């Protein structure tokens, strides 16, 4: 069996070695040939310079050439042509082969060209390419060519190669034409509940990773962060309609009666191994009733799981209340991907609190600030300033930045950053005003470690770095809860660093250093215009 195993890379190398090369036609080894032409060029050039100097001294016309001079000029031209190939035709051939290989990977064949035309003229739906071709990468290439032809605009710069399009089919994205590259940085170690984590962050904003990393250093030097998961409910809230408000209120009382909860829970929980109903709360608008089901969903973020379970409950309720009209499985009382007070108050996903005590010496040495300055800034900016703005869960410096960066790196839904970034940052002086007690309270961190974008190779690698990849082997939901605490702990680190930068007037200077080009654009424009 071992002898039958083959290494694809070694096979490729062997195949390359078997390919004929231009240097095979040379009578001598390549390095000898290169050396010969190198010295030939300079020797002939030196000989001709000496001959021309003698002609000038003896008043002999330069265009009158002897046989030796003519032969030397021809040899000089020949060696120059060889040297233009950068020490031989071997380099020229390898470059040409690489260009030909690159052209081969992106060239549309005759069959593909007809498919592109079919997509352009509408005879073949673009969305059906993967199904018809059974080749997701080829489908993306044809769709890409069709888009360029239809719009008259190039997609050059948007990568196509190097991505597993099969892995996202019917899962993450449709109508693919390539993928976007986002750099991933790491911060840490983040000392959270006595364990060190290196946290990946995907972002295009300069300073964000550096700033969060400084916060992690501050926390580490002070003994770390302690986290608490208060609640873990995913929610789904369908809207139903009745002929009258009286009938709607009867269903409300029925659902909120503790005697009926067990029946609802049995029906709800039958839909999945992990869905477990926690509570049902109702809101009314006339004869319309909004049913907010809260449930645990294991290590999945759980939106689809909750929706499936809710549909089963609605089918049961339809029998008990035949005049009920189920308008939609989501009535926005959930509330998903929207800034809503219900999430800020009741929570959605993981409700997490993180706290740390930062020593006076660390505040001075690492943050280059003081306890009194940070306390005052937090009150005036994060609390009073956000209240003046009418913020909804936005009582923080920039929690959204850290949440989005970790979400993108670990395959979470970036749109759920809306509610997941709801956060109130508290900074208080303790120990006779010398040290700082810092905390972040985040009631709606919506994360999962299975399903969705977590299955992609790059995102799975980032989850693996944190030790939360896939479903937890012990307690159901342990990995997703841990990921939520890592997000909150990283937010605390970012809050500390940014607040100190603002307090000490370093915000603008740091962004100008890390997040702006140092190139003189005005000078470049003048140069290009001239």
* Catalytic residue numbers, as ranges: 205, 337, 413, 511
DSSP string covering 293-334: EEEE-TTB--HHHHHHHHHHHHHHHHHH-TT-EEEES--SSS
Coil, helix or strand for 496? helix
Secondary structure element (H or E) that encloses residue 187, with its range: strand 184-192
What DSSP state is assigned to residue 437?
E
Question: Do 427 and 484 contact (CB within 8 A), yes or no?
Answer: no
Secondary structure element (H or E) that encloses residue 481, with its range: helix 478-503
Secondary structure element (H or E) that encloses residue 358, with its range: strand 350-358
Secondary structure element (H or E) that encloses residue 217, with its range: helix 208-221
Question: Do 339 and 421 contact (CB within 8 A), yes or no?
Answer: no
Tell me the C-alpha distance between 320 and 492, whole Å.
49
11, 30, 81, 93, 490 from 15: Cα distances, Å: 6, 21, 30, 16, 49
Tell me the C-alpha distance between 219 and 84, whole Å.
59
Coil, helix or strand for 54? helix
Coil, helix or strand for 5? coil
Integer-rounded Cα radius of gyration of the chain: 34
Q: Is the omega angle on the peptide bond into residue 189 within 30 degrees of 0, that is, cis?
A: yes
Question: Which residues, other chains included, contact 430 with Cβ-Cβ below 8 Å and sequence gap of 6+?
Answer: 357, 436, 437
């Amino acid at each position: 069996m071992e002898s039958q195993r083959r290494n694809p890379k070694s096979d490729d190398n062997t195949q390359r070695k078997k390919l004929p090369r231009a240097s095979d036609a040379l009578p001598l080894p390549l390095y000898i040939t290169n050396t010969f032409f190198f010295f030939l060029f300079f020797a002939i050039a030196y000989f001709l310079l000496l001959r021309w100097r003698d002609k000038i001294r003896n008043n002999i016309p330069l265009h009158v050439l002897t046989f030796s001079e003519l032969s030397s000029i021809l040899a000089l031209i020949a060696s120059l042509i060889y040297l233009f190939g950068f020490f031989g035709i071997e380099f020229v051939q390898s470059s040409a082969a690489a260009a030909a290989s690159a052209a081969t990977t992106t060239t549309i064949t005759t069959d593909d060209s007809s498919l592109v035309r079919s997509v352009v003229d509408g005879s073949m739906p673009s969305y059906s390419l993967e199904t018809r071709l059974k080749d997701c990468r080829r489908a993306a290439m044809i769709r890409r060519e069709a888009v360029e032809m239809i719009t008259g605009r190039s997609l050059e710069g948007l990568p196509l190669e190097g991505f597993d399009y099969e892995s996202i089919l019917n899962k993450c994205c449709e109508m693919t034409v390539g993928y976007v590259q986002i750099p991933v940085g790491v911060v840490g170690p983040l000392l959270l509940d006595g364990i060190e984590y290196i946290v990946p962050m995907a972002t295009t904003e300069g300073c964000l990773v550096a700033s969060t990393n400084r916060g992690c250093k501050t926390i580490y030097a002070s003994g770390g962060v302690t986290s608490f998961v208060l609640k873990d409910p995913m929610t789904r809230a369908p809207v139903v309609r009745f002929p009258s408000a009286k009938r709607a209120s009867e269903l409300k009382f029925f659902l909120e009666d503790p005697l009926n909860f067990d029946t609802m829970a049995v029906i709800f929980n039958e839909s999945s191994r992990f869905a477990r109903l926690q509570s049902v709360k109702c809101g009314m608008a006339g004869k319309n009733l909004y049913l907010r089901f809260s449930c645990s969903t294991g290590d999945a973020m759980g939106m689809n799981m909750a929706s499936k379970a809710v549909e089963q409950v609605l089918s049961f309720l339809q029998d008990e209340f035949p005049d009920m009209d189920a308008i939609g499985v989501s009535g926005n009382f959930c509330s998903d991907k929207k800034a809503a007070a219900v999430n800020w108050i009741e929570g959605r996903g993981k409700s997490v609190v993180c706290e740390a005590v930062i020593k006076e010496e660390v505040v001075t040495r690492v943050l280059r600030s003081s306890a009194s300055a940070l306390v005052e800034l937090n009150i005036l900016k994060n609390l009073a300033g956000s209240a003046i703005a009418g913020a909804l869960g936005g009582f923080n410096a920039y929690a959204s930045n850290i949440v989005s960066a970790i979400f993108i790196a670990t395959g979470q839904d970036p749109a759920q950053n809306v509610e997941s970034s709801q956060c109130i940052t508290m900074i208080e002086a303790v120990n006779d005003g010398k040290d700082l007690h810092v905390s972040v309270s985040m009631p709606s961190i919506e994360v999962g470690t299975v399903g969705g974008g977590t299955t992609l190779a790059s995102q799975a690698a980032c989850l693996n770095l944190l030790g939360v990849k896939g479903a937890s082997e012990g307690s159901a939901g342990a990995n997703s809860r841990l990921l939520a605490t890592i997000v909150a702990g990283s937010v605390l680190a970012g809050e500390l660093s940014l607040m100190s930068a603002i307090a000490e007037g370093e915000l603008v200077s740091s962004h100008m250093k890390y997040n702006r080009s140092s190139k003189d654009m005005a000078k470049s424009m003048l140069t290009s215009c001239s």
